[in-house]
């Protein structure tokens, strides 16, 4: 999914599901089974994917939270701090010049704040997110993600996915039988 605010436009269609939406310069993109997501806030970018993922994102007082079968992460920008734990990994990240890197049998993550970047991927998932010029891309066998930017909110889950998006006053909703 690629998403743009202001002149927000939504597009999608895939055997499993594909959506494109822009917010500000924010872009959201994702596909299932093997998902990829990219997220950046300011200059910060986040990447990760898990077999079963759940993510919640908010802009402005932007905070990111999500839990997975083998991963749980919570992130806050501004007084931004990142925390997550895995079977063999636990990470806590702070903004400014702070960067964190770690890897697991099925996960690897690298993080830097300000020019902060977060990256990590699992056997079937990879996510990267950008804020400001933020764009999001991701897809998982079973995924649920909720994102809010300004007043805009995005929510959806996979396998049987349903997504609702609001832009200013604009809102978009749709679902797929098997997304």
- Per residue in 94-120, pLDDT (tens digit) is 222 222 322 222 222 322 222 223 333
Q: Quick one: how far is CA 78 from the chain centroid?
A: 18
Q: Output phi, psi for 172, to 5 deg.
A: -130, 140
What are the sequence ranges of the domains in the chain?
Answer: 10-176
Q: For residue 87, what pLDDT band results from cuts at 50, 70 and 90? A: very low
Interval 75-103 mean pLDDT:
28
Contacts of 13 (CB under 8 A, 6+ apart): none
Identify whether the C-beta of residue 129 lies closer than 8 Å to the C-beta of residue 64.
yes
pTM over 0.75: no
């Amino acid at each position: 999914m690629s998403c743009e605010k202001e002149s927000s436009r939504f597009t999608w269609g895939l055997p499993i599901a594909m959506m494109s939406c822009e917010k500000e310069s924010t872009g959201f993109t994702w596909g299932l089974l093997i998902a990829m997501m990219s997220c950046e806030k300011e200059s910060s970018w986040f990447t990760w994917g898990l077999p079963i993922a759940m993510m919640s994102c908010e802009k402005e007082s932007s905070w990111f939270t999500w839990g997975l079968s083998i991963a749980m992460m919570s992130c806050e920008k501004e007084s931004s701090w990142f925390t997550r734990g895995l079977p063999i990994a636990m990470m806590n990240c702070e903004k400014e010049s702070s960067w964190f890197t770690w890897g697991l049998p099925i996960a690897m993550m690298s993080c830097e704040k300000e020019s902060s970047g977060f990256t990590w991927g699992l056997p079937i998932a990879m996510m990267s997110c950008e804020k400001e010029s933020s764009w999001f891309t991701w897809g998982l066998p079973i995924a649920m993600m909720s994102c809010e930017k300004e007043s805009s909110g995005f929510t959806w889950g996979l396998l049987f996915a349903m997504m609702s998006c609001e832009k200013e006053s604009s809102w978009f909703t749709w679902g797929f039988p098997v997304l």
